[in-house]
């Protein structure tokens, strides 16, 4: 579904991604790990079309379409979802209103009628239970006054509502206690199917105990420098990143 | 199910917002009786004569006119009102009535206009639960539900009719809250006011429906000077709505209204405005000058007056709906959203004058500036030495949507005793790019995202509007932001 070729991107003239190659197929879970500043979050921002970043080279195909040519909202409609590392608060905009707008925009994109109020609320109830999100949270303003854990659960709730084909979880485990981590992970696992795929961006093995990856990639200095099976994550947990850094730096 | 319907409306609003510009900019082709341009004593006399007014009212007008001649237009506002040639305005325009026999029937052209504006003029639309007084140019066209309200003793009619039918009441209250000596535009209005609404709620009556006035300027080169007077007697309650639109015209038009409200013991008045006068085009050409004096007197103990305004229109807005809190334990409230775009200028806010003991006031002002517009909050909280135990809370927020717009606040606080407490909070913010991208990532395009965020920002005030109005106001906010996102 996703084919990234030699993707290069910069922010404020600083080159961050220096040639990423990655292919994701339906049903797969890819973990992207790496030390701080290696470009993990930049990759998620560039894929979703964050205007703060400039693509300077390479290509991204999403189900055969040129992803980079689409607006951020059209990428979302096409089935790309980002669970933000730091979900923003939007004061005064209720989750109900926000989600309903988002969902109906997607339906409009595909030429469907908006969902009726009753159907929408039913859907919300259903999806909320996946991440045990309290009804009260759903009626509050988007992320406003949510705890760290609630914000992350709210991200997965939105993912459940929008049923994306490819979800990118950007450090969804950061700031979560073990209970919240379990809830979030079980939500992600519930939503997993043979038709959709997940990219998990994380520092730590911890989350991967709950969301089992098929592939683990190490990102360092804007490139994927190592790819292997789930055992790589365990090895990184044990040995850290230094040995990879040394290996890469010595090659340069 | 009420709850469930809200989001649906929210979406519909945004969709509509994506299309419309100023959709009330049409002109109705209707025969209009306009008196020639210019202003002198004869014109004042002629207006009074056309309306068949009693002598005392003519005297009131003439005194106001003579006083006006001694005044100069105020220049302290953070707005640029060009010098207005008051001799180049027609002070009276009325849709011409056919013949005396047809008087009860409303002109079909006129009815079409108000239908376009979505105003329920016909009584069979009773289900909408709103009584409407519609003012086109200078004259009140029709007041619905008058009979039904009369059963309760509620008087809701045009000012002209009130002068004829309830002269004592009008004479007792007219000019008592806003005397003609108050300011330049108040003096002008007092001299030439044409029509407006009159409301009287008798003792102990809770008005069972929202009363509503719709103002429309149709004729070219006229000014609109309407005058509204609302009296809530002891233990009465009324919620009053005011809406306004005007055709798109290249020249500027003047709107200088007065609203006076009197609230007696334990009575309550809610006054809501959705102001959508034509704001001028993208280059600042045309538009209404909205120079209005609105003031309420909470005369009774435990009386309450609440102003809620959503201001999106007018080239220039200059208005300060205020409360004089004379009664002990009286309550004044001011909730405002003022949105300016393109080259609009707004200088708006309130005065809370605490004269009664233990009186309280709340001010929540939300300014939104886009394009090259200038948006100012000007407020005064004054607590008299004898008014002990008073409280005021003021929250004054500004949201900037462009680098070329301005947000300003001019608060004045005077506290005359040490048992009163005044709090003032102010913030200025910009829409954050992260918020917009968050919406984008969820499939919401930037223009819609800004509409959502702005409506969220204004929510506290919107929540104070009656439901029907809130929906319209939300739409307006989104529509008024058209093209403000680069």
User: Residue B186: is its pLDDT beyond 80?
Assistant: yes
Which residues 6+ apart lie within 8 Å of B117 measured at CB? Answer: B24, B214, B216, B243, B245
- Residues of chain B in contact with residue A98, where contact means CB-CB under 8 angstroms, are 439, 442, 452
Tens-digit pLDDT profile for residues A207-239: 999 999 999 999 999 999 999 999 999 998 889
Residues of B in contact with A100 (CB under 8 A): 7-8, 10-11
- Please give the Cα distance from B306 to B272 (Å, whole number): 8
Q: Is A141 on the interface with B (CB under 8 A)?
A: yes
Please report, rounded to a whole number, the percentage of residues in chain B having pLDDT higher than 90: 48
- Pick A101's closest partner by Cβ from B432, B441, B444: B444
* pLDDT over 70 percentage in chain A: 100
The whole-angstrom distance between B198's CA and the closest CA on chain A is 36
A109 and B443 in contact by Cβ < 8 A?
yes
Query: How close does chain A come to B430, measured CA to CA in Å?
Result: 12
Chain B within 8 Å of A115 (Cβ-Cβ)? no
A109 touches chain B (CB under 8 A): yes
CB pairs under 8 A between A and B: 102
Distance from the B405 Cα atom to the nearest Cα atom in chain A, whole angstroms: 22
Supply the pLDDT for residue B105: 56
Q: Could B10 and A97 be called an inter-chain contact, meaning their C-beta atoms sit closer than 8 Å?
A: yes
Question: If you average pLDDT over every residue of chain B, what do you get?
Answer: 83
User: Closest approach of chain A CAs to the CA of B448, in angstroms?
Assistant: 9
Task: Round to whole Å and give the CA distance between B363 and B87.
Answer: 38
Q: What is the pLDDT of residue B460?
A: 87
Which tens digit of pLDDT belongs to each residue from A167-202?
999 999 888 888 889 999 999 999 999 999 999 999
Nearest residue on chain B to A120, alpha-carbon basis: B4
- Phi and psi angles of residue A232, each rounded to the nearest 5 degrees, phi first: -65, -35
Q: Looking at beta carbons, which residues of chain B come within 8 Å of A82?
A: 441
CB proximity under 8 Å: B 434-453 to A:
434-435, 437-445, 448, 452-453
Confidence band for B12, pLDDT divided at 50, 70 and 90: very low
B312: pLDDT strictly greater than 90: no
**Nearest chain A Cα distance for residue B485, angstroms:** 14
Q: Any idea which residue has 């049903």 for tokens?
A: A27
Hey, is the C-beta of A92 within 8 angstroms of any chain B C-beta?
yes
pLDDT for A176 equals: 86
Which of A47, A67, A104 is the best residue to mutate to test the B interface, defined by the most B CB atoms within 10 Å of its own CB? A104
Instruction: Give yes or no for residue B13 having a pLDDT over 60.
Output: no
Domain at A2-251: CATH architecture: 3-Layer(aba) Sandwich (3.40)
pLDDT for position B124: 33
Question: Does the pLDDT at position B274 exceed 90?
Answer: no
- CA-based angle B173:B177:B183, to the nearest 5? 130
Q: How distant is the Cα of B297 from the closest Cα of chain A, in angstroms? A: 32
* B210 pLDDT higher than 50: yes
Say what the pLDDT of residue A137 is: 76
**pLDDT at residue B288, rounded to an integer:** 85
CB A56 within 8 Å of CB A9: yes
Residue pLDDT, tens place only, B402-427: 888 899 999 999 999 999 999 999 99
| B111 phi and psi angles, rounded to 5 deg | -65, -40
Residues of chain A with Cβ-Cβ distance to B435 below 8 Å are 88, 90
**Averaging pLDDT over each range in A18-22, B447-451, B477-481, which range is the top one?**
A18-22
Evaluate if residue B20 carries a pLDDT over 50: no
Q: What are phi and psi of A135, to 5 degrees?
A: -55, -35
The mean pLDDT value for B201-217 works out to: 83
Residues of A in contact with B470 (CB under 8 A): none
User: What residues of chain A lie within 8 A of the CB of B10, using their CB?
Assistant: 97, 100-101
Please list every residue in chain B whose beta carbon sits closer than 8 Å to the beta carbon of residue A97. Answer: 6-7, 10, 452
Instruction: Annotate B333-351 with b (16+ C-beta within 10 A) or e (fewer).
Output: bbbbbbbbbbbbbbbbbbb
Would the CB atoms of A96 and B7 count as touching at under 8 Å? yes
Q: Interface pTM (ipTM) of the complex?
A: 0.96
pLDDT-wise least confident of A148-157, A226-235, B131-140, B249-258: B131-140
What pLDDT digit, counting tens, does each position of A40-92 carry? 999 999 999 999 999 999 999 999 999 999 999 999 999 999 999 999 999 98
Report pLDDT digits (tens) over B111-169. Answer: 666 565 555 554 334 334 456 666 665 555 556 677 778 889 999 888 988 999 999 99
Please check whether residue B6 touches A, CB under 8 A.
yes
B19 interfacial to chain A (CB closer than 8 Å):
no
Distance from the Cα of A243 to chain B's closest Cα (Å) equals: 36
Summary mean pLDDT of chain A: 93
Distance (Å, whole) CA B67 – CA A246? 89
Q: Is the CB of B4 less than 8 angstroms away from the CB of A71?
A: no
Q: Which residues contact B133 (CB under 8 A, 6 or more apart)?
A: B140, B142, B143, B144, B156, B157, B158, B197, B211, B212, B213, B214
Q: How confident is the model at residue A27 (pLDDT cuts 50, 70, 90)?
A: very high
- In this complex, is the C-beta atom of B474 within 8 Å of any C-beta atom belonging to chain A? no
Closest partner CB to A92 (pick from B7, B437, B459): B459
In DSSP terms, B274 is beta-bridged to B243, B310
Q: Does A91 touch chain B (CB under 8 A)?
A: yes
A12 touches chain B (CB under 8 A): no
Are B231 and B199 contacting, i.e. CB atoms less than 8 angstroms apart? yes
- Compute the nearest-CA separation of A105 from chain B (Å): 6
Helix locations, B341-466, DSSP H: 433-441, 446-457, 459-462
Residue of A nearest to B457 (CA): A92
B322: pLDDT strictly greater than 50: yes
Task: Spell out the residues 6+ positions from residue B79 whose beta carbon is closer than 8 angstroms to its own.
Answer: B316, B317, B318, B345, B346, B347, B374, B376
Whether the CB of A189 is below 8 Å from some CB of chain B: the reply is: no
Kindly state the DSSP code that residue B86 receives in the 8-state scheme.
G
Cα distance between residue B369 and residue B338, in whole Å: 8
Q: Which pLDDT value is given to residue B23?
A: 58
Q: Please tell me which of the candidates A84, A100, A105 has its beta carbon nearest to residue B7.
A: A100
For residue B209, give how far its alpha carbon lies from the nearest alpha carbon of chain A (Å): 28
- Per the CB < 8 Å rule, is A77 touching B10? no
- Cross-strand pairs, B222: B90
More confident residue, A131 or B101: A131
Task: Write down the pLDDT at residue B419.
Answer: 97
Question: For a pLDDT cut of 90, what percent of chain A falls above it?
Answer: 73
**pLDDT confidence of residue A211:** 93
As a whole number, mean pLDDT of residues B358-372 equals: 94
Q: Is A127 exposed, middle or buried (0-12, 13-18, 19+ CB in 10 A)?
A: buried
Cβ A48–B441 below 8 Å, yes or no? yes
Residues of A in contact with B439 (CB under 8 A): 90, 98, 102
Give the range among A234-248, B24-38, B196-210 with minimum mean pLDDT: B24-38
Buried b (16+ CB within 10 A) or exposed e, B172-210: ebbbebbebebbbbbbbbbbbbbbbbbbbbbeebebebb
Question: Do B445 and A90 make contact, defined as CB atoms within 8 angstroms?
Answer: no
């Amino acid at each position: 579904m996703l084919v990234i070729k030699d993707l290069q991107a910069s922010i404020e003239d600083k080159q961050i991604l220096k040639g990423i190659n990655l292919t994701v197929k339906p049903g797969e879970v890819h973990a992207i790990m790496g030390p701080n500043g290696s470009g993990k979050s930049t990759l998620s921002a560039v894929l979703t079309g964050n205007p703060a970043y400039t693509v300077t080279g390479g290509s991204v195909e999403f189900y055969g379409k040129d992803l980079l040519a689409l607006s951020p909202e059209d990428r979302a409609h096409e089935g790309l979802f980002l669970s933000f590392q730091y979900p923003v608060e939007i004061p005064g905009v209720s989750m109900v209103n926000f989600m309903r707008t988002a969902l109906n925009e997607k339906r409009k994109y595909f030429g469907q009628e908006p969902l009726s109020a009753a159907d929408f609320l039913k859907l919300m109830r259903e999806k909320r239970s996946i991440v045990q999100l309290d009804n009260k949270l759903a009626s509050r303003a988007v992320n406003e006054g949510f705890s760290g854990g609630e914000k992350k659960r709210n991200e997965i709730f939105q993912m459940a509502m929008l049923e994306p084909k490819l979800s990118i979880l950007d450090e969804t485990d950061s700031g979560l206690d073990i209970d919240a981590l379990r809830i979030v992970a079980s939500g992600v696992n519930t939503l997993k199917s043979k038709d959709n795929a997940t990219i998990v961006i994380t520092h730590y093995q911890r989350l991967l105990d709950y969301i089992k990856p098929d592939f683990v990639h190490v990102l360092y200095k804007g490139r994927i420098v190592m790819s292997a099976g789930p055992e790589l994550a365990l090895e990184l947990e044990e040995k850290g990143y230094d040995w990879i850094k040394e290996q890469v730096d010595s090659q340069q | 199910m009420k709850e469930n319907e809200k989001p649906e409306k929210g979406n519909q609003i945004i969709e509509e917002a994506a299309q419309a510009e100023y959709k009330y900019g049409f002109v109705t082709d209707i025969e209009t009786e306009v008196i020639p341009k210019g202003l002198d004593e004869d014109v004042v006399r002629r207006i009074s004569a056309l309306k068949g007014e009693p002598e005392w009212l003519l005297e009131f007008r003439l005194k106001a006119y003579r006083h006006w001649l001694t005044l100069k237009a105020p220049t302290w506002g953070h707005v640029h009102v060009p010098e207005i040639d008051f001799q180049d305005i027609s002070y009276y325009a009325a849709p011409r009535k056919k013949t005396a026999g047809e008087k009860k029937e409303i002109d079909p052209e006129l009815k079409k206009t108000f239908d376009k504006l979505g105003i329920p003029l016909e009584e069979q639309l009773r289900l909408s639960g709103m009584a409407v007084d519609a003012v086109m140019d200078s004259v009140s066209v029709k007041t619905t539900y008058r009979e039904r309200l009369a059963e309760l003793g509620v008087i809701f009619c045009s000012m002209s009719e009130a002068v004829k039918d309830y002269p004592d009441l009008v004479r007792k209250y007219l000019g008592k809250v806003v005397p003609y000596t108050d300011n330049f535009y108040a003096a002008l209005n007092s001299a030439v006011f044409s029509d407006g609404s009159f409301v009287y709620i008798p003792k102990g009556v809770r008005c069972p429906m929202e009363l509503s006035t719709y103002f429309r300027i149709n004729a070219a080169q006229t000014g609109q000077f309407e005058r509204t007077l609302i009296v809530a007697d002891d233990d009465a309650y009324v919620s009053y709505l005011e809406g306004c639109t005007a055709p798109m015209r290249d020249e500027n038009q003047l709107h200088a209204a007065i609203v006076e409200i009197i609230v007696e013991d334990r009575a309550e008045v809610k006054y809501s405005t959705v102001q959508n006068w034509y704001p001028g085009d993208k280059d600042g050409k045309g538009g209404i000058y909205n120079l209005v004096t609105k003031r309420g007197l909470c005369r009774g103990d435990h009386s309450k007056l609440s102003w809620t305004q959503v201001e999106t229109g007018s080239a220039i807005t200059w208005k300060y709906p205020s409360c004089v809190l004379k009664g002990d334990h009286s309550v004044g409230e001011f909730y405002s959203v003022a949105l300016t775009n393109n080259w609009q200028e707004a200088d708006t806010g309130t005065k809370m004058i605490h004269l009664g003991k233990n009186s309280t006031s709340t001010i929540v002002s939300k300014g939104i500036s886009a394009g090259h517009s200038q948006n100012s909050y000007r407020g005064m909280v004054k607590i008299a030495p004898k008014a002990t135990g008073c409280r005021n809370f003021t929250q004054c927020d500004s949201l900037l949507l462009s680098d070329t717009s301005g947000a300003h606040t001019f608060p004045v606080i005077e506290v005359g005793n040490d048992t009163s407490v005044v709090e003032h909070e102010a913030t200025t913010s910009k829409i954050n790019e992260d918020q917009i991208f968050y919406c984008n990532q969820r499939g919401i395009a930037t223009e819609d995202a800004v509409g959502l965020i702005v409506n969220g920002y204004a929510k506290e005030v919107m929540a104070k509007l009656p439901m029907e109005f809130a929906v319209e106001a939300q739409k307006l906010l989104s529509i008024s932001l058209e093209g403000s996102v680069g």
